[in-house]
Amino acid sequence: MSKIIILIFTFLIAGADSFNFTELRYSDALDRTIELKGEISFLQNGLSIEYKQSKKSLHLLDEKLTYKEGEQLIALDESKSQKIIQYLEIIILLRNSDDKLLKSMFDMEISGEKTVLKPKGNLRYFLTYIELVKREENLKEIKLFLKNSDHIIIKIADEIL
């Protein structure tokens, strides 16, 4: 089964927009930043993230999430899975720049390369704001500032051709 899923993803990723990225995760509780490097692919109905160093990957396709460590599929509990889906959907939304939807969920402030998004709904209880950096219409950085003083910075490199 896992081989079939890998095959499907390989096929889908072949036709997707893929980028190398660096994720800098600052934890206030640990007072340290953790760096993760990986490859992100935006698919037609989802997203795939692969952390090559740790051989772990996340795949979201048609609202279904799969998590793999090496070749092994790992089951996630429903609550955790829902949170990750929500997080990944925000990444997709930010990347797609669906203005109507973004405005329904955030108050937007644009200044030059930077766009600041302040959440309106349930998100506002966890997220202080999001900062997007775009260069030549391409999304380069996503910064998420959380209520607990943690922050996540995703730096997107050029498209993998």
Stretch that binds other proteins, among 2-10, 12-20, 78-86, 132-140 (CB under 8 A): 78-86
Beta carbon of residue 160, minimum distance to other proteins (angstroms, whole number): 19
DSSP annotation string for 42-103:
EETTEEEEEETTTTEEEEEETTEEEEEETTEEE---HHHHHHHHHHHHHHHHHHHT-HHHHH
Beta carbon of residue 11, minimum distance to other proteins (angstroms, whole number): 21
- Binding marks (x or -) toward other proteins, 95..114, rule CB under 8 A? -x-x-xx--x----------
Is the Cβ–Cβ distance between 81 and 87 less than 8 Å? no
Any idea what DSSP says for residue 1? -
Q: Applying CB under 8 A, what is the total number of residues that bind other proteins? A: 37
Of 17, 63, 107, 113, the one binding other proteins (CB under 8 A) is: 63
Secondary structure of residue 151 in the 3-state scheme: strand
Stretch that binds other proteins, among 6-14, 80-88, 110-118, 134-142 (CB under 8 A): 80-88
In total, the chain counts a number of residues equal to 161
Measure the N-to-C terminal CA separation of the chain; round to a whole number of Å. Answer: 29
Q: Fill in the amino acid letter for 152.
A: I
Beta carbon of residue 69, minimum distance to other proteins (angstroms, whole number): 9
- By beta-carbon proximity to other proteins, the closer residue of 101 and 113 is 101
Q: Minimal CA–CA distance to 42: which of 1, 80, 97, 4?
A: 97
According to the binding rule CB under 8 A, does residue 34 interact with other proteins?
A: yes
Which residues are at the interface with other proteins (CB under 8 A)? 25, 27-31, 34, 36, 45, 49, 51, 54, 56, 58, 63, 80, 82, 84-87, 89, 92-93, 96, 98, 100-101, 104, 121-123, 125, 146, 148, 150, 152
